[in-house]
Structure 1
């Protein structure tokens, strides 16, 4: 049979490292294998944890048996959910005095935080046309892909100081000061920076906001861990709220995810918020209209079940209180596992400094391990983490911390 040449011009692309690593972990039959790759919460037994508040909400929804539960919503998404998502992000409490501030925010529902990042990048590429988007070095790998597909040139600002395993604030500020141009977008992690776990302090956030305002840069916040990182919705949204409240003449946007803080990983529940300056609130509805144009051509509307769970939780004082308690449970376990790993490495007198493990914040730790050491951990000990040395602390438990620490100690001593 004669072969017909394809019209496609395609070449292989590298597989997604996180999902490939997770697949290798599941295929591994070693009894002591440990997954420190994928960013999902696990209990101390290594099991998924449907949040108790979510389970109660699901039970109530099942009992209500709403006949509309599988119907279409609006293109912009579930409107009551969007108001709840906005209020969680920006701290609104329903006071009449907040109406002017709310008028600055154009909100639409998205396919989780990834979809919010993608929609925001696409919207800016079409309607603001930034010369560049500045991403932290390092950043979540998917940020690079999202902005590449949006067609916006990507540049990076220093973020991680390898020698001290600390946040490179001076490097970030100097690069943005000297090289960023008016109208450039700057991607900022609202809290629990992925992958380093290092966040600016409040004084540094104030300086970053001042620089963005003075240089007329466009802040693009990715908020994936609100409430999950510290256990406090307010603390984890501090940077976003500071920019919003104290820079009313500066426009910005926020990609918001409920994957981590409500454990709705597979429900793909998120929102995108575009914030106008205080003199441009008249175009808010036009912004929503244009966002809907992009949504309609791509996925029509956001998924319904996850946002319905969020609404059910936030419409009940009891379930809301339960959810806040769930946030404390998750954030506290992550912090305790950081301390446990640090203490074990200190006990073993593992060469180097490990204070950064307890100084970092959120789900991930940028361990400082080299790619060779990471490969040795996988090959010899069946401990899986990204080649950058990023470890998901959620994969640690009281049972496996001694084993993981001993493995790290061995590769640090013997693998250069």
Structure 2
């Protein structure tokens, strides 16, 4: 009897194994293809494995000081010291972040800290819905998911070129990215006439992605007059503007000077000429809060009543993804903007120094480049953390193979990786590649 019982148990185990095997026939791990490495992270990995003492990493878009080291802003360090002393809990924040953080973002960006009556009017009228998100990428994904659910036209127009992850985020969210002309590589300059023509040719009601400042990867921004022309097209075509603002402050060193596009949009929203738009924003760069993943999304709505519904849908959307955002970075932002700490002006000074160093090294690179075979004037027109060199993929490869200089294949250099110790070596390597 005992032997019979053992046989039955063994047969039951075999049935379970057979059942598991049958139900998982569609899950064949051996057939899952190897995904290609992320282009920028792959560059960093190759850089790390390079033994050349003169190697230079120009791929990653994170700030480095003149010694090539990452930094923590002094104002951020002081904010963390204040937090250490006064913080009493690590409770979850609400789904869309704390009310204080939301208020800071609205006032800082849309009201320009009490300098923009149009932005203040939108805030007072309850027409801005702001949610804390997981930095800039998280805010882009949240708004893309939101638009996929509630916006009829799924086409989103993105500049060519644009940050590579834009297309990936929008595709994964169910939107349909399509490029509009932005930059002409043959002359290393903005292709403004074709930019306008390509937007005018698109269907009414499309979503259009705009870089607020320090266009990534080209560093070429529209002038105020050019923005007026583009915004007129957006009005005529009834586009929905989606603004990505990852580098506020990196154009001029002063955050309030880098948001002219936002000022124009808030004015048009008040006049109901462009009644709705969305803004994705991050403190990753301008506060150095990269790993803290601190950003926001703001949606400008037609009315206070519609804001309530939109806020409720943002909560419903975010809840099953990550439930609520991380708190440490947002608390740092709150401390810096707290008038009692006196850290706001110190942070603005820290940021201005960072941008000043980037501008200095941009000039030094330009000064050391050979102008006899190549026109490098476009480097001085570009703004922000990057230079879009115009180098061809094979030239970038030669820089990598022969000189251990690592950059993306499109010739985008993160100039924070350049400093007084390597700028001449880099310029000489570029000169050799251009001549070769």
Does the TM-score normalized on the shorter chain lie above 0.5?
yes
Alpha-carbon distance change, 349 to 214 in structure 1, aligned in 2, over 3 angstroms: closer
Q: Distance between the aligned counterparts of 1:196 and 1:229, measured in 2?
A: 13
Q: Any residues of structure 2 matched to 1:195-274 within 5 Å, and which?
A: 195-248=217-270, 249=272, 250=274, 251-274=276-299
Q: Distance between the aligned counterparts of 1:149 and 1:131, measured in 2?
A: 12
Q: Distance between the aligned counterparts of 2:255 and 2:106, measured in 1?
A: 12
Q: Distance between the aligned counterparts of 1:148 and 1:322, measured in 2?
A: 40
Q: Distance between the aligned counterparts of 2:279 and 2:225, measured in 1?
A: 21
Q: Any residues of structure 2 matched to 1:136-175 within 5 Å, and which?
A: 136-175=159-198
Instruction: Tell me the residue number matched to 1:289.
Output: 312
Q: CA deviation at 1:6?
A: 4.5
Q: CA deviation at 1:74?
A: 0.5
| Aligned mate of 1:101, from 100, 115, 122 | 122
Instruction: Tell me the residue number matched to 1:329.
Output: 353
Alpha-carbon distance change, 353 to 95 in structure 1, aligned in 2, over 3 angstroms: closer
Q: Is the 8 A contact 2:110 2:116 kept in 1?
A: no
Q: Does residue 81 in structure 1 map to residue 104 in structure 2?
A: no
Q: Any residues of structure 2 matched to 1:252-401 within 5 Å, and which?
A: 252-277=277-302, 280-316=303-339, 318-345=342-369, 348-349=370-371, 351-401=373-423
Q: The residue matched to 1:318 in structure 2 has which SS?
A: coil
Q: CA deviation at 1:94?
A: 5.4
- Unpaired runs of 5+ in structure 1? none
Q: Distance between the aligned counterparts of 1:124 and 1:322, measured in 2?
A: 38
- The number of residues matched between the two structures is 407
Instruction: Tell me the residue number matched to 1:407.
Output: 429
Q: Is the 8 A contact 1:350 1:409 kept in 2?
A: no
Q: Distance between the aligned counterparts of 1:322 and 1:94, measured in 2?
A: 19
Q: Is the 8 A contact 1:112 1:271 kept in 2?
A: yes
Alpha-carbon distance change, 349 to 166 in structure 1, aligned in 2, over 3 angstroms: closer
- Unpaired runs of 5+ in structure 2? 1-16
Q: CA deviation at 1:162?
A: 1.3
Q: Is the 8 A contact 1:183 1:217 kept in 2?
A: yes
Q: The residue matched to 2:343 in structure 1 has which SS?
A: helix
Q: The residue matched to 2:261 in structure 1 has which SS?
A: helix
| Aligned mate of 2:203, from 178, 181, 202 | 181
Q: CA RMSD in A?
A: 1.8
| Aligned mate of 2:216, from 194, 197, 206 | 194
Indicate the larger mover: 263-272 or 79-88: 79-88
Q: Any residues of structure 2 matched to 1:110-121 within 5 Å, and which?
A: 110-121=133-144
Q: The residue matched to 2:319 in structure 1 has which SS?
A: helix
Q: Is the 8 A contact 2:289 2:329 kept in 1?
A: yes
Q: Distance between the aligned counterparts of 1:344 and 1:199, measured in 2?
A: 25
* Deviation sequence 1:196-224 (CA, Å, 0-9, x none): 00000000111111110111001000000
Bigger radius of gyration among the two:
2
Q: TM-score, normalised by structure 1?
A: 0.94
Q: Is the 8 A contact 1:108 1:271 kept in 2?
A: yes
Q: Distance between the aligned counterparts of 2:36 and 2:255, measured in 1?
A: 36
Q: TM-score, normalised by structure 2?
A: 0.90
Q: Does residue 67 in structure 1 map to residue 91 in structure 2?
A: no
Q: Is the 8 A contact 1:350 1:412 kept in 2?
A: no
Q: CA deviation at 1:79?
A: 1.5
Q: Is the 8 A contact 2:112 2:256 kept in 1?
A: no
* Deviation sequence 1:248-296 (CA, Å, 0-9, x none): 322100000000000000000000000013xx23111211110111110
Q: Distance between the aligned counterparts of 1:49 and 1:358, measured in 2?
A: 25
* Deviation sequence 1:373-403 (CA, Å, 0-9, x none): 1011011100000000000011100110000
Instruction: Tell me the residue number matched to 1:43.
Output: 65
Q: Is the 8 A contact 2:58 2:413 kept in 1?
A: yes
Q: CA deviation at 1:5?
A: 4.2
Q: Distance between the aligned counterparts of 1:51 and 1:129, measured in 2?
A: 43
Q: Distance between the aligned counterparts of 2:242 and 2:400, measured in 1?
A: 36
Q: CA deviation at 1:92?
A: 4.4
Q: Is the 8 A contact 2:116 2:263 kept in 1?
A: no
